[in-house]
Amino acid sequence: MPPPRASWLLALTALCGGCFTTATIHRRGGPNLDAVIDGADQRALYVTTTVADRYLVERTDVVEIDHPGKPAVLAGLGCVAAGAFTWWLTTKAENPSGFIGIPRAFAAMGIIIGVPLALDGLGSYTHSRMKAAP
């Protein structure tokens, strides 16, 4: 017997949330690096790429850092907003049968999936920013 849809959606959310862990480091003197920032000091960033290569990137070579987590925060907040709006709409419904269970279930699912996704993205973003700070 297959698991309920909510379980599949939660598993998909966890899988996608785990993908937002690498920062993109734009450099002057070389290609962009998609890497996890391990640490930093006043003169360099210490990073590990997805294929386990370790690099020292001079701060003077760094143009910009795109920290991970921002897409997850936006997706999570979008799910929460859609869920909250749907829930609000169910309070305004004038259905003579009074059946609002399915729309409320979808609204609750959006909120239940969106909050952890946004928090995971925020955690990834702040962790990367703290690691990149000198």
**pTM (predicted TM-score):** 0.74
| pLDDT 10s digits, 73-132 | 999 999 999 999 999 988 886 766 667 888 899 999 999 999 999 999 999 999 999 999
Q: Are 76 and 118 in contact (CB under 8 A)?
A: yes
Residues with Cβ within 8 Å of 34's Cβ and at least 6 positions away in sequence, in order, are 22, 23, 24, 49, 50
DSSP H or E stretch at residue 120: helix 101-132
From CA 134, how far away is CA 2, in angstroms rounded?
Answer: 49
Domain ranges across the chain = 1-20+68-134, 22-67
Q: What topology does CATH give the domain 22-67?
A: SH3 type barrels. (2.30.30)
**What's the pLDDT at 20?**
63
